[in-house]
Amino acid sequence: MTFTQLDPCIPMTVEGKGKGSAIAVIDYGQEHNLIWVVALDESGEIWCSPNPKVRLQNNWTMGRRTPRPELGLAAE
């Protein structure tokens, strides 16, 4: 198991929870999803969310525009 603190934080959206900043990532190994530790902007709550439930926030300068629903989500 590895725990990596992120510096700088990464802007993320947690499905069903809202926007926030990923402050760390936990890797339990090859048989498990990465776990993102995300501090939510609106409520201040901190959630540990599995990889399929988090998405990077839009960033026009990095080429990440609004997601295209016709492409669907990654396999869960």
Written as one letter, the residue type at 26 is I
pLDDT, residue 51, reads 93
For the chain, give every domain's residue range: 2-59
pLDDT, residue 75, reads 46
Residuewise pLDDT in 10s, the chain (76 residues): 999 999 999 999 999 999 999 999 999 999 999 999 999 999 999 999 999 999 988 776 766 666 666 655 554 4
pLDDT, residue 73, reads 55
pLDDT, residue 58, reads 74
Give residues with Cβ within 8 angstroms of 66, minimum separation 6: 58
* Rounded Cα distance, 23 and 9, in Å: 5
- Nearest CA among 66, 38, 31 for reference residue 53: 38
Collapsing DSSP states into helix, strand and coil, what is residue 48? strand
Angle made by CA atoms 60, 52, 3, in degrees to the nearest 5: 90
Rg (CA), the chain: 13
